[in-house]
Protein backbone atom coordinates (compact mmCIF):
# COMPACT_ATOMS: atom_id res chain seq x y z
CA UNK A 1 0.00 0.00 0.00
CA UNK A 2 1.31 3.45 -0.82
CA UNK A 3 0.10 6.35 1.24
CA UNK A 4 1.32 9.87 0.64
CA UNK A 5 1.25 12.06 3.69
CA UNK A 6 2.65 15.51 4.02
CA UNK A 7 3.91 16.71 7.34
CA UNK A 8 6.16 19.51 8.39
CA UNK A 9 8.53 17.23 10.27
CA UNK A 10 9.23 13.50 10.27
CA UNK A 11 10.76 12.36 13.53
CA UNK A 12 12.85 9.22 13.70
CA UNK A 13 12.32 7.18 16.85
CA UNK A 14 10.02 7.18 19.86
CA UNK A 15 12.55 7.20 22.68
CA UNK A 16 13.61 10.21 24.73
CA UNK A 17 14.10 12.18 21.49
CA UNK A 18 10.88 11.25 19.74
CA UNK A 19 8.64 11.89 22.74
CA UNK A 20 10.04 15.35 23.39
CA UNK A 21 10.30 16.25 19.69
CA UNK A 22 6.61 15.46 19.09
CA UNK A 23 5.61 17.60 22.08
CA UNK A 24 7.91 20.46 21.20
CA UNK A 25 7.19 20.65 17.47
CA UNK A 26 3.50 19.77 17.54
CA UNK A 27 2.23 21.24 20.80
CA UNK A 28 4.55 24.19 21.29
CA UNK A 29 5.32 25.21 17.70
CA UNK A 30 2.08 24.10 16.06
CA UNK A 31 3.72 22.00 13.33
CA UNK A 32 2.42 18.78 11.85
CA UNK A 33 4.64 15.85 12.79
CA UNK A 34 4.86 12.11 12.40
CA UNK A 35 7.29 9.89 14.28
CA UNK A 36 8.25 6.36 13.27
CA UNK A 37 9.70 3.58 15.37
CA UNK A 38 10.24 -0.09 14.64
CA UNK A 39 9.39 -0.87 18.28
CA UNK A 40 5.88 -1.70 19.42
CA UNK A 41 5.63 1.37 21.66
CA UNK A 42 7.58 4.29 23.10
CA UNK A 43 10.85 3.81 24.99
CA UNK A 44 13.66 3.58 22.44
CA UNK A 45 16.65 1.87 24.02
CA UNK A 46 14.60 1.21 27.17
CA UNK A 47 11.96 -0.61 25.11
CA UNK A 48 14.50 -3.04 23.65
CA UNK A 49 17.14 -3.52 26.35
CA UNK A 50 15.05 -5.49 28.83
CA UNK A 51 17.84 -7.85 29.92
CA UNK A 52 18.07 -8.81 33.61
CA UNK A 53 19.98 -6.11 35.48
CA UNK A 54 19.44 -3.34 32.89
CA UNK A 55 19.66 -0.07 34.76
CA UNK A 56 20.78 3.46 34.05
CA UNK A 57 24.17 4.58 35.35
CA UNK A 58 23.13 8.24 35.56
CA UNK A 59 21.18 9.21 38.69
CA UNK A 60 17.46 9.08 38.05
CA UNK A 61 16.85 12.68 39.17
CA UNK A 62 19.06 13.70 36.22
CA UNK A 63 18.06 10.96 33.78
CA UNK A 64 14.70 12.60 33.14
CA UNK A 65 13.18 15.51 31.26
CA UNK A 66 13.44 19.00 32.67
CA UNK A 67 11.16 20.76 30.16
CA UNK A 68 8.02 20.49 32.29
CA UNK A 69 8.02 21.51 35.94
CA UNK A 70 4.70 19.71 36.49
CA UNK A 71 6.17 16.50 35.11
CA UNK A 72 9.18 16.88 37.39
CA UNK A 73 6.94 17.39 40.39
CA UNK A 74 4.55 14.53 39.76
CA UNK A 75 7.01 11.74 38.90
CA UNK A 76 8.74 9.99 41.77
CA UNK A 77 11.83 7.84 41.18
CA UNK A 78 12.14 4.99 43.64
CA UNK A 79 15.91 4.39 43.39
CA UNK A 80 19.05 6.45 43.06
CA UNK A 81 19.70 4.72 39.72
CA UNK A 82 16.52 3.63 37.98
CA UNK A 83 16.11 0.13 36.58
CA UNK A 84 14.90 -0.38 33.02
CA UNK A 85 11.23 -1.14 33.94
CA UNK A 86 10.95 2.11 35.88
CA UNK A 87 12.50 4.19 33.07
CA UNK A 88 10.13 2.57 30.58
CA UNK A 89 7.20 3.29 32.92
CA UNK A 90 8.38 6.91 33.12
CA UNK A 91 8.54 7.26 29.34
CA UNK A 92 5.06 5.73 29.04
CA UNK A 93 3.82 8.21 31.60
CA UNK A 94 5.32 11.12 29.65
CA UNK A 95 3.86 9.76 26.40
CA UNK A 96 0.38 9.57 28.00
CA UNK A 97 0.66 12.94 29.67
CA UNK A 98 1.52 14.75 26.45
CA UNK A 99 -0.57 12.48 24.25
CA UNK A 100 2.28 11.90 21.81
CA UNK A 101 1.30 8.44 20.58
CA UNK A 102 -1.32 9.80 18.18
CA UNK A 103 1.57 11.32 16.20
CA UNK A 104 3.61 8.12 16.18
CA UNK A 105 3.62 5.02 13.98
CA UNK A 106 4.97 1.96 15.74
CA UNK A 107 6.25 -1.29 14.24
CA UNK A 108 7.24 0.80 11.23
CA UNK A 109 10.85 0.92 10.14
CA UNK A 110 12.24 3.74 8.04
CA UNK A 111 13.96 2.32 4.98
CA UNK A 112 14.85 5.48 3.05
CA UNK A 113 15.10 9.23 3.57
CA UNK A 114 15.72 10.92 0.24
CA UNK A 115 15.97 14.65 -0.45
CA UNK A 116 13.94 15.90 -3.39
CA UNK A 117 15.62 19.08 -4.58
CA UNK A 118 12.79 20.07 -6.91
CA UNK A 119 10.02 19.60 -4.38
CA UNK A 120 12.27 20.93 -1.56
CA UNK A 121 11.29 18.18 0.85
CA UNK A 122 12.34 14.79 2.13
CA UNK A 123 10.67 11.58 0.96
CA UNK A 124 10.64 9.13 3.84
CA UNK A 125 9.99 5.51 2.90
CA UNK A 126 8.87 2.95 5.45
CA UNK A 127 8.71 -0.83 5.46
CA UNK A 128 4.91 -0.79 5.13
CA UNK A 129 5.41 0.58 1.62
CA UNK A 130 4.28 4.09 2.47
CA UNK A 131 6.07 7.30 1.57
CA UNK A 132 5.75 10.34 3.80
CA UNK A 133 6.93 13.70 2.60
CA UNK A 134 8.33 16.16 5.09
CA UNK A 135 10.00 19.55 4.90
CA UNK A 136 12.25 18.62 7.81
CA UNK A 137 13.57 15.45 9.39
CA UNK A 138 14.67 15.18 13.00
CA UNK A 139 16.48 11.97 13.81
CA UNK A 140 16.50 10.33 17.20
CA UNK A 141 17.65 7.02 15.77
CA UNK A 142 19.84 6.40 18.80
CA UNK A 143 23.58 6.27 19.35
CA UNK A 144 23.71 2.77 20.70
CA UNK A 145 20.80 1.19 18.89
CA UNK A 146 22.19 -0.69 15.89
CA UNK A 147 23.82 -3.85 17.28
CA UNK A 148 27.22 -5.05 16.21
CA UNK A 149 26.86 -7.92 13.73
CA UNK A 150 27.72 -11.42 15.04
CA UNK A 151 31.25 -12.33 14.00
CA UNK A 152 31.57 -16.01 14.76
CA UNK A 153 31.24 -18.87 12.31
CA UNK A 154 28.85 -21.66 13.24
CA UNK A 155 26.24 -19.53 15.04
CA UNK A 156 23.50 -21.21 13.00
CA UNK A 157 24.73 -24.66 14.12
CA UNK A 158 24.13 -24.01 17.82
CA UNK A 159 21.27 -26.17 19.10
CA UNK A 160 20.65 -24.22 22.31
CA UNK A 161 18.98 -20.87 22.93
CA UNK A 162 20.54 -17.58 21.77
CA UNK A 163 19.73 -14.21 23.32
CA UNK A 164 21.13 -10.71 22.90
CA UNK A 165 21.03 -8.02 25.58
CA UNK A 166 19.82 -5.42 23.05
CA UNK A 167 16.77 -7.51 22.04
CA UNK A 168 15.95 -9.37 25.24
CA UNK A 169 12.56 -11.12 24.99
CA UNK A 170 9.93 -9.02 26.71
CA UNK A 171 8.39 -12.13 28.21
CA UNK A 172 11.80 -12.91 29.78
CA UNK A 173 14.11 -15.87 29.30
CA UNK A 174 14.23 -18.77 31.73
CA UNK A 175 17.93 -19.36 32.48
CA UNK A 176 17.40 -21.41 35.63
CA UNK A 177 19.54 -24.51 35.86
CA UNK A 178 21.15 -23.91 32.47
CA UNK A 179 24.76 -23.60 31.32
CA UNK A 180 24.95 -20.05 30.06
CA UNK A 181 27.76 -18.31 28.16
CA UNK A 182 27.95 -14.52 27.98
CA UNK A 183 30.10 -12.90 25.28
CA UNK A 184 31.04 -9.31 26.09
CA UNK A 185 32.02 -7.44 29.23
CA UNK A 186 30.92 -3.87 28.47
CA UNK A 187 28.21 -2.04 30.41
CA UNK A 188 25.51 -4.51 29.32
CA UNK A 189 27.43 -7.69 30.17
CA UNK A 190 28.68 -6.26 33.46
CA UNK A 191 25.09 -5.49 34.54
CA UNK A 192 23.73 -8.86 33.41
CA UNK A 193 26.44 -11.20 34.73
CA UNK A 194 25.99 -10.73 38.53
CA UNK A 195 22.21 -10.83 38.24
CA UNK A 196 22.00 -14.17 36.42
CA UNK A 197 24.96 -15.90 38.11
CA UNK A 198 22.82 -17.02 41.05
CA UNK A 199 20.13 -18.71 38.99
CA UNK A 200 22.08 -20.50 36.25
CA UNK A 201 23.77 -23.85 36.71
CA UNK A 202 27.01 -22.55 35.29
CA UNK A 203 28.04 -19.20 33.84
CA UNK A 204 30.95 -18.87 31.43
CA UNK A 205 32.04 -15.30 30.74
CA UNK A 206 33.97 -14.78 27.49
CA UNK A 207 36.05 -11.65 28.03
CA UNK A 208 38.19 -10.00 25.36
CA UNK A 209 39.08 -6.72 27.07
CA UNK A 210 38.71 -6.14 30.82
CA UNK A 211 37.08 -2.90 31.90
CA UNK A 212 37.60 -0.55 34.84
CA UNK A 213 34.13 -1.31 36.18
CA UNK A 214 33.41 0.94 39.13
CA UNK A 215 30.75 0.66 41.85
CA UNK A 216 27.32 2.08 41.13
CA UNK A 217 26.12 2.13 44.78
CA UNK A 218 22.47 2.05 43.97
CA UNK A 219 19.94 2.37 46.81
CA UNK A 220 16.31 3.37 47.32
CA UNK A 221 15.56 7.10 47.46
CA UNK A 222 13.75 8.07 50.65
CA UNK A 223 10.66 10.26 50.57
CA UNK A 224 12.54 13.04 52.36
CA UNK A 225 15.39 12.93 49.85
CA UNK A 226 13.04 12.99 46.92
CA UNK A 227 10.92 15.80 48.36
CA UNK A 228 14.09 17.83 48.69
CA UNK A 229 15.02 17.15 45.07
CA UNK A 230 11.57 18.25 43.90
CA UNK A 231 11.72 21.40 46.03
CA UNK A 232 15.12 22.32 44.57
CA UNK A 233 14.77 20.89 41.10
CA UNK A 234 15.36 24.19 39.34
CA UNK A 235 18.69 24.74 41.10
CA UNK A 236 19.70 21.13 40.58
CA UNK A 237 19.07 21.38 36.85
CA UNK A 238 20.97 24.65 36.62
CA UNK A 239 23.97 23.20 38.44
CA UNK A 240 23.85 20.05 36.32
CA UNK A 241 23.80 22.04 33.08
CA UNK A 242 27.03 23.77 34.19
CA UNK A 243 28.81 20.46 34.68
CA UNK A 244 31.00 18.76 32.01
CA UNK A 245 28.71 15.68 32.03
CA UNK A 246 25.42 17.43 32.71
CA UNK A 247 24.98 16.01 36.21
CA UNK A 248 25.68 17.49 39.62
CA UNK A 249 29.19 16.79 40.88
CA UNK A 250 31.72 18.12 43.35
CA UNK A 251 34.27 20.64 42.06
CA UNK A 252 37.18 18.45 41.00
CA UNK A 253 40.75 19.20 42.18
CA UNK A 254 43.14 20.29 39.41
CA UNK A 255 45.60 17.44 39.01
CA UNK A 256 45.88 13.87 40.24
CA UNK A 257 49.61 13.64 39.61
CA UNK A 258 50.14 16.92 41.47
CA UNK A 259 48.53 15.53 44.62
CA UNK A 260 50.28 13.48 47.31
CA UNK A 261 49.71 9.74 47.40
CA UNK A 262 47.81 10.10 50.69
CA UNK A 263 45.49 12.75 49.31
CA UNK A 264 44.82 10.74 46.17
CA UNK A 265 44.01 7.65 48.17
CA UNK A 266 41.60 9.61 50.35
CA UNK A 267 39.92 11.22 47.33
CA UNK A 268 39.64 7.99 45.35
CA UNK A 269 38.37 6.06 48.40
CA UNK A 270 35.72 8.71 48.96
CA UNK A 271 34.41 8.66 45.40
CA UNK A 272 34.74 4.88 44.96
CA UNK A 273 32.47 4.69 47.97
CA UNK A 274 30.12 7.37 46.69
CA UNK A 275 29.63 5.50 43.40
CA UNK A 276 28.76 6.23 39.80
CA UNK A 277 30.72 8.67 37.67
CA UNK A 278 31.93 10.68 40.69
CA UNK A 279 35.21 8.76 40.76
CA UNK A 280 35.97 10.22 37.34
CA UNK A 281 34.33 13.64 37.40
CA UNK A 282 34.41 14.77 41.04
CA UNK A 283 38.00 13.75 41.82
CA UNK A 284 40.59 15.34 39.49
CA UNK A 285 40.22 17.47 36.36
CA UNK A 286 43.12 16.08 34.36
CA UNK A 287 42.25 12.39 34.39
CA UNK A 288 41.13 12.26 30.77
CA UNK A 289 44.01 14.38 29.53
CA UNK A 290 47.18 13.44 31.43
CA UNK A 291 48.45 9.84 31.19
CA UNK A 292 50.33 9.95 34.50
CA UNK A 293 47.33 11.31 36.36
CA UNK A 294 45.10 8.76 34.71
CA UNK A 295 47.41 5.92 35.69
CA UNK A 296 46.98 6.81 39.39
CA UNK A 297 43.25 6.12 39.10
CA UNK A 298 43.71 3.11 36.81
CA UNK A 299 46.06 1.53 39.38
CA UNK A 300 43.67 2.40 42.21
CA UNK A 301 40.86 0.50 40.45
CA UNK A 302 43.15 -2.45 39.64
CA UNK A 303 44.04 -2.62 43.35
CA UNK A 304 40.36 -2.73 44.30
CA UNK A 305 39.81 -5.57 41.79
CA UNK A 306 42.70 -7.49 43.37
CA UNK A 307 41.06 -7.05 46.80
CA UNK A 308 37.64 -8.15 45.65
CA UNK A 309 38.56 -11.19 43.53
CA UNK A 310 39.89 -14.16 45.50
CA UNK A 311 41.89 -15.92 42.78
CA UNK A 312 44.87 -13.69 41.84
CA UNK A 313 45.03 -15.13 38.32
CA UNK A 314 41.36 -14.26 37.72
CA UNK A 315 41.87 -10.81 39.27
CA UNK A 316 44.74 -10.17 36.89
CA UNK A 317 42.64 -11.22 33.93
CA UNK A 318 39.91 -8.83 35.04
CA UNK A 319 42.37 -5.92 35.38
CA UNK A 320 42.73 -3.63 32.37
CA UNK A 321 46.16 -2.39 31.38
CA UNK A 322 45.61 -1.69 27.68
CA UNK A 323 43.71 1.61 27.94
CA UNK A 324 43.47 4.57 30.32
CA UNK A 325 40.60 4.79 32.81
CA UNK A 326 37.49 6.42 31.30
CA UNK A 327 38.62 6.24 27.67
CA UNK A 328 36.07 3.48 27.25
CA UNK A 329 32.76 4.35 28.88
CA UNK A 330 33.21 3.07 32.44
CA UNK A 331 30.70 0.32 33.21
CA UNK A 332 29.09 0.79 36.61
CA UNK A 333 28.76 -2.41 38.60
CA UNK A 334 27.06 -4.03 41.54
CA UNK A 335 28.85 -7.18 42.83
CA UNK A 336 30.46 -7.74 39.44
CA UNK A 337 33.90 -8.69 40.71
CA UNK A 338 32.55 -10.84 43.58
CA UNK A 339 30.63 -12.86 40.97
CA UNK A 340 33.96 -14.38 39.89
CA UNK A 341 34.41 -15.82 43.39
CA UNK A 342 31.43 -18.12 42.83
CA UNK A 343 32.06 -21.81 42.13
CA UNK A 344 29.66 -21.80 39.17
CA UNK A 345 31.34 -18.93 37.27
CA UNK A 346 34.29 -19.30 34.88
CA UNK A 347 36.15 -16.48 33.15
CA UNK A 348 37.52 -17.33 29.70
CA UNK A 349 40.11 -15.04 28.15
CA UNK A 350 39.28 -14.62 24.47
CA UNK A 351 42.07 -12.10 23.93
CA UNK A 352 44.95 -14.57 24.08
CA UNK A 353 42.91 -17.11 22.09
CA UNK A 354 39.89 -15.65 20.26
CA UNK A 355 36.57 -17.43 19.90
CA UNK A 356 37.15 -19.87 17.01
CA UNK A 357 33.60 -20.86 16.33
CA UNK A 358 30.23 -21.69 17.74
CA UNK A 359 29.54 -25.42 17.65
CA UNK A 360 26.31 -27.39 17.99
CA UNK A 361 26.85 -27.58 21.73
CA UNK A 362 28.76 -24.48 22.73
CA UNK A 363 31.70 -22.19 21.98
CA UNK A 364 35.21 -23.26 20.97
CA UNK A 365 38.11 -21.15 22.21
CA UNK A 366 41.74 -22.09 21.61
CA UNK A 367 40.77 -25.69 20.83
CA UNK A 368 38.69 -26.08 24.02
CA UNK A 369 34.93 -26.60 23.76
CA UNK A 370 32.80 -24.84 26.37
CA UNK A 371 29.51 -26.73 26.55
CA UNK A 372 26.48 -24.43 26.78
CA UNK A 373 22.68 -24.50 26.74
CA UNK A 374 22.37 -20.76 26.19
CA UNK A 375 24.54 -18.11 24.49
CA UNK A 376 24.00 -14.47 25.39
CA UNK A 377 25.55 -11.83 23.18
CA UNK A 378 26.42 -8.50 24.83
CA UNK A 379 28.80 -7.37 22.10
CA UNK A 380 27.84 -3.75 21.75
CA UNK A 381 26.73 -1.47 18.96
CA UNK A 382 27.74 0.19 15.72
CA UNK A 383 27.52 3.39 17.73
CA UNK A 384 26.71 6.96 16.64
CA UNK A 385 26.75 6.46 12.87
CA UNK A 386 25.33 2.92 12.53
CA UNK A 387 21.62 3.68 12.92
CA UNK A 388 21.83 6.87 10.83
CA UNK A 389 23.57 5.09 7.95
CA UNK A 390 21.14 2.19 8.17
CA UNK A 391 18.17 4.38 7.18
CA UNK A 392 19.24 5.03 3.59
CA UNK A 393 19.69 8.78 3.90
CA UNK A 394 20.41 10.43 0.54
CA UNK A 395 20.98 14.16 0.33
CA UNK A 396 21.45 16.74 -2.39
CA UNK A 397 22.71 15.50 -5.77
CA UNK A 398 22.05 11.87 -4.84
CA UNK A 399 24.93 11.75 -2.36
CA UNK A 400 24.22 9.25 0.40
CA UNK A 401 25.23 9.85 3.98
CA UNK A 402 27.14 6.56 3.77
CA UNK A 403 29.23 7.93 0.89
CA UNK A 404 29.75 11.27 2.58
CA UNK A 405 30.92 9.58 5.77
CA UNK A 406 33.04 6.89 4.10
CA UNK A 407 36.11 8.13 6.04
CA UNK A 408 34.22 8.98 9.22
CA UNK A 409 31.42 11.35 10.20
CA UNK A 410 31.49 14.98 9.04
CA UNK A 411 28.99 17.23 10.77
CA UNK A 412 28.44 20.75 11.98
CA UNK A 413 27.89 20.69 15.76
CA UNK A 414 26.98 17.00 15.47
CA UNK A 415 23.53 18.21 14.46
CA UNK A 416 23.67 18.96 10.74
CA UNK A 417 25.65 17.96 7.67
CA UNK A 418 26.41 19.88 4.48
CA UNK A 419 24.42 18.44 1.56
CA UNK A 420 21.60 17.35 3.85
CA UNK A 421 19.34 20.39 4.20
CA UNK A 422 16.59 20.48 6.82
CA UNK A 423 18.00 17.30 8.39
CA UNK A 424 18.78 17.41 12.09
CA UNK A 425 20.57 14.70 14.03
CA UNK A 426 19.68 14.77 17.70
CA UNK A 427 22.79 13.86 19.71
CA UNK A 428 24.45 12.95 16.43
CA UNK A 429 28.10 11.99 15.97
CA UNK A 430 30.55 14.77 16.94
CA UNK A 431 28.08 16.38 19.34
CA UNK A 432 28.67 16.65 23.08
CA UNK A 433 26.99 13.36 23.76
CA UNK A 434 27.89 10.07 25.46
CA UNK A 435 29.80 11.98 28.12
CA UNK A 436 26.79 14.30 28.49
CA UNK A 437 23.72 13.07 30.35
CA UNK A 438 21.50 11.94 27.50
CA UNK A 439 18.11 13.45 28.39
CA UNK A 440 19.73 16.88 28.90
CA UNK A 441 21.70 16.60 25.66
CA UNK A 442 18.51 15.53 23.90
CA UNK A 443 16.56 18.48 25.26
CA UNK A 444 19.32 20.87 24.14
CA UNK A 445 19.44 19.42 20.64
CA UNK A 446 15.69 19.14 20.14
CA UNK A 447 15.36 22.77 21.23
CA UNK A 448 18.21 23.90 18.96
CA UNK A 449 16.77 22.01 15.97
CA UNK A 450 13.16 23.03 16.54
CA UNK A 451 14.17 26.67 17.00
CA UNK A 452 16.14 26.44 13.75
CA UNK A 453 13.06 25.04 12.00
CA UNK A 454 10.90 27.81 13.44
CA UNK A 455 13.44 30.44 12.41
CA UNK A 456 13.48 29.06 8.85
CA UNK A 457 9.70 29.01 8.58
CA UNK A 458 9.15 32.37 10.31
CA UNK A 459 11.47 34.00 7.78
CA UNK A 460 9.62 32.47 4.85
CA UNK A 461 12.63 30.38 3.88
CA UNK A 462 12.80 26.86 2.52
CA UNK A 463 16.03 25.33 3.69
CA UNK A 464 18.63 25.50 6.41
CA UNK A 465 21.87 23.66 5.72
CA UNK A 466 25.34 23.54 7.25
CA UNK A 467 28.00 25.23 5.13
CA UNK A 468 31.02 23.33 3.98
CA UNK A 469 33.36 25.69 5.85
CA UNK A 470 31.45 25.42 9.11
CA UNK A 471 31.43 21.65 8.84
CA UNK A 472 35.18 21.43 8.11
CA UNK A 473 35.87 23.76 11.02
CA UNK A 474 33.78 21.64 13.38
CA UNK A 475 35.40 18.37 12.25
CA UNK A 476 38.81 19.98 12.92
CA UNK A 477 37.71 21.16 16.36
CA UNK A 478 36.44 17.70 17.30
CA UNK A 479 39.62 16.03 16.06
CA UNK A 480 41.97 18.51 17.74
CA UNK A 481 40.12 18.15 21.00
CA UNK A 482 40.32 14.36 20.81
CA UNK A 483 44.08 14.57 20.20
CA UNK A 484 44.59 16.58 23.39
CA UNK A 485 42.78 13.86 25.33
CA UNK A 486 43.56 10.23 26.08
CA UNK A 487 40.53 8.91 24.17
CA UNK A 488 42.43 7.87 21.02
CA UNK A 489 44.39 5.40 23.22
CA UNK A 490 41.44 3.03 23.55
CA UNK A 491 39.79 0.81 20.95
CA UNK A 492 36.34 2.00 21.92
CA UNK A 493 33.02 2.85 20.34
CA UNK A 494 33.81 6.49 21.21
CA UNK A 495 36.37 6.27 18.38
CA UNK A 496 34.45 3.88 16.11
CA UNK A 497 37.12 1.29 16.85
CA UNK A 498 34.84 -1.53 18.05
CA UNK A 499 33.49 -2.34 14.58
CA UNK A 500 35.82 -4.12 12.14
CA UNK A 501 36.42 -1.94 9.08
CA UNK A 502 34.80 1.20 10.50
CA UNK A 503 36.96 4.30 10.05
CA UNK A 504 38.58 5.32 13.34
CA UNK A 505 37.54 8.85 14.11
CA UNK A 506 36.37 10.70 17.24
CA UNK A 507 32.62 10.30 17.56
CA UNK A 508 32.08 12.95 20.21
CA UNK A 509 32.94 16.53 21.03
CA UNK A 510 35.08 16.40 24.17
CA UNK A 511 34.86 20.02 25.28
CA UNK A 512 32.09 19.22 27.73
CA UNK A 513 28.45 20.15 27.90
CA UNK A 514 28.76 23.80 29.03
CA UNK A 515 31.24 24.73 26.27
CA UNK A 516 29.10 22.94 23.71
CA UNK A 517 25.94 24.68 24.89
CA UNK A 518 27.72 28.03 24.63
CA UNK A 519 28.87 27.30 21.07
CA UNK A 520 25.31 26.41 20.07
CA UNK A 521 23.95 29.54 21.77
CA UNK A 522 26.52 31.66 19.89
CA UNK A 523 25.48 30.06 16.59
CA UNK A 524 21.85 31.06 17.24
CA UNK A 525 22.87 34.50 18.48
CA UNK A 526 24.84 35.00 15.26
CA UNK A 527 21.73 34.34 13.14
CA UNK A 528 22.53 30.65 12.63
CA UNK A 529 26.14 31.26 11.86
CA UNK A 530 27.58 28.38 9.81
CA UNK A 531 24.25 27.58 8.18
CA UNK A 532 22.98 28.64 4.76
CA UNK A 533 19.38 29.75 5.03
CA UNK A 534 17.74 29.94 1.65
CA UNK A 535 14.51 30.18 -0.23
CA UNK A 536 14.21 28.44 -3.58
CA UNK A 537 14.79 31.78 -5.27
CA UNK A 538 17.23 33.62 -3.01
CA UNK A 539 20.16 32.81 -0.74
CA UNK A 540 19.78 34.68 2.50
CA UNK A 541 22.28 34.03 5.31
O1 LIG B 1 28.71 -2.65 24.52
P2 LIG B 1 30.31 -2.42 24.61
P3 LIG B 1 27.63 -2.56 25.69
N4 LIG B 1 34.81 -11.31 20.65
O5 LIG B 1 30.73 -2.08 23.23
C6 LIG B 1 32.94 -7.50 23.44
C7 LIG B 1 25.39 2.05 26.90
N8 LIG B 1 24.83 1.24 27.96
O9 LIG B 1 26.31 -2.94 25.11
O10 LIG B 1 36.15 -4.39 24.44
C11 LIG B 1 34.78 -11.14 21.96
O12 LIG B 1 30.67 -1.52 25.69
C13 LIG B 1 33.75 -6.25 23.65
O14 LIG B 1 35.11 -6.56 23.79
P15 LIG B 1 36.23 -5.44 23.36
C16 LIG B 1 26.68 2.64 27.42
O17 LIG B 1 26.90 3.89 26.86
C18 LIG B 1 24.52 1.88 29.11
O19 LIG B 1 28.05 -3.28 26.88
O20 LIG B 1 35.79 -4.90 22.02
N21 LIG B 1 34.24 -10.09 22.57
C22 LIG B 1 33.08 -5.71 24.91
O23 LIG B 1 33.52 -6.37 26.06
C24 LIG B 1 27.66 1.60 26.95
O25 LIG B 1 28.99 2.01 26.94
C26 LIG B 1 24.06 1.17 30.16
O27 LIG B 1 37.50 -6.19 23.29
C28 LIG B 1 33.70 -9.15 21.79
C29 LIG B 1 31.62 -6.06 24.65
O30 LIG B 1 31.60 -7.12 23.70
C31 LIG B 1 27.11 1.26 25.59
O32 LIG B 1 25.70 1.23 25.78
C33 LIG B 1 23.92 -0.20 30.09
C34 LIG B 1 33.68 -9.25 20.39
C35 LIG B 1 30.84 -4.89 24.09
O36 LIG B 1 30.84 -3.85 25.02
C37 LIG B 1 27.55 -0.05 25.01
O38 LIG B 1 27.61 -1.03 26.04
C39 LIG B 1 24.23 -0.84 28.91
C40 LIG B 1 34.28 -10.40 19.83
N41 LIG B 1 34.32 -10.58 18.51
C42 LIG B 1 24.70 -0.12 27.85
N43 LIG B 1 33.08 -8.17 19.89
C44 LIG B 1 23.80 1.89 31.40
O45 LIG B 1 23.21 2.95 31.47
C46 LIG B 1 32.71 -7.40 20.93
N47 LIG B 1 33.07 -8.00 22.08
C48 LIG B 1 24.36 1.32 32.59
123 lines ligand 1 (CB under 6 A): no
Cβ neighbourhood burial of 535 (10 Å; 0-12, 13-18, 19+): middle
374 alpha carbon to ligand 1 midpoint, in Å? Answer: 19
User: In this predicted structure, what is the pLDDT of residue 540?
Assistant: 43
- Reading the chain (541 residues) residue by residue, the pLDDT tens digits are 344 569 999 999 999 999 999 999 999 999 999 999 999 999 999 999 999 999 999 999 999 999 999 999 999 999 999 999 999 999 999 999 999 999 999 999 999 999 999 999 999 999 999 999 999 999 999 999 999 988 899 999 999 999 999 999 999 999 999 999 999 999 999 999 999 999 999 999 999 999 999 999 999 999 999 999 999 999 999 999 999 899 999 999 999 999 999 999 999 999 999 999 999 999 999 999 999 999 999 999 999 999 999 999 999 999 999 999 999 999 999 999 999 999 999 999 999 999 999 999 999 999 999 999 999 999 999 999 999 999 999 999 999 999 999 999 999 999 999 999 999 999 999 999 878 999 999 999 999 999 999 999 999 999 999 999 999 999 999 999 999 999 999 999 999 999 999 999 999 999 999 999 999 999 999 999 999 999 975 444 4
CA distance 385 to 145: 10
413 ligand 1 Cβ < 6 A: no
C-alpha 72 – ligand 1 centre gap (Å): 32
Determine the Cα–Cα distance for residues 397 and 390; give it in Å rounded to an integer: 19
Task: Tell me, using a 6 A CB cutoff, whether residue 386 lines ligand 1.
Answer: no
Asked whether 357 lines ligand 1 (CB < 6 A), one says no
Residue nearest atom 18 of ligand 1, based on CA coordinates: 187
Query: How confident is the model at residue 537, as a pLDDT?
Result: 56
Residue 23: predicted pLDDT: 98
Cα-to-centroid distance, 148 and ligand 1 (Å)? 9
**Contact yes or no for 419/412 (Cβ under 8 A):** no
339-to-209, 503, 527 alpha-carbon distances in Å: 17, 36, 56
Q: Which residues of 479-518 are buried (b: 16+ CB within 10 A; e: fewer)?
A: eebbeebbbbebbbbbbbbbbeebeebbbbbbbbbeebbe
* Cβ-based neighbour number of residue 245 at 10 Å: 21
Residues 431, 437, 443, CA angle at the centre, nearest 5°? 70
Indicate if ligand 1 lies below 6 Å from the C-beta of 379.
yes
Instruction: State the closest ligand 1 atom to the C-alpha of 434, by its place in the atom list counted from 1.
Output: 17
Distance 379 CA to ligand 1 centre (A): 5
Please tell me if the CB atom of residue 145 comes closer than 6 angstroms to any atom of ligand 1. Answer: no
380 CA closest ligand 1 atom index: 1
| Residue identifier of the C-alpha nearest atom 24 of ligand 1 | 187
Q: Which residue owns the Cα nearest ligand 1 atom 29?
A: 184
C-alpha 327/C-alpha 364 separation (Å) is 30
How many Å apart are CA 497 and CA 503, to the nearest integer? 7
91 lines ligand 1 (CB under 6 A): no
Is the Cβ atom of 376 under 6 angstroms away from ligand 1? no
* CA separation, residue 424 to residues 84, 369, 383 (Å): 28, 48, 17
Ligand 1 in reach of 151 Cβ (< 6 A): yes
Q: How far apart are CA 322 and CA 283, in angstroms?
A: 22
Amino acid sequence: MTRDTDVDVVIVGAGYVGIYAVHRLRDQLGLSVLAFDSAGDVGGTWYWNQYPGARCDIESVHYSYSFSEELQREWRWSERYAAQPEILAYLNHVADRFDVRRSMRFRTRITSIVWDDDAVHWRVGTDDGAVTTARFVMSGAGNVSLPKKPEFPGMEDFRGEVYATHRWPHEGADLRGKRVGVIGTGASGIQLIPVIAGEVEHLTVFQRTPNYASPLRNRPLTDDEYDEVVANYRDIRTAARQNFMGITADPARPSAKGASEEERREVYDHYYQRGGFHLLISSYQDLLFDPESNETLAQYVRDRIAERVEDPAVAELLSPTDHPYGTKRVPMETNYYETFNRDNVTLVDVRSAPIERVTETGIRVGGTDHELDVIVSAMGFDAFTGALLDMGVVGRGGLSLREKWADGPRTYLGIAAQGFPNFFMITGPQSAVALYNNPSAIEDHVEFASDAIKHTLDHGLDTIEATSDAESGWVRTVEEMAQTSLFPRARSWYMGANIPGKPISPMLYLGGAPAYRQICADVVEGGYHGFDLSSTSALVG
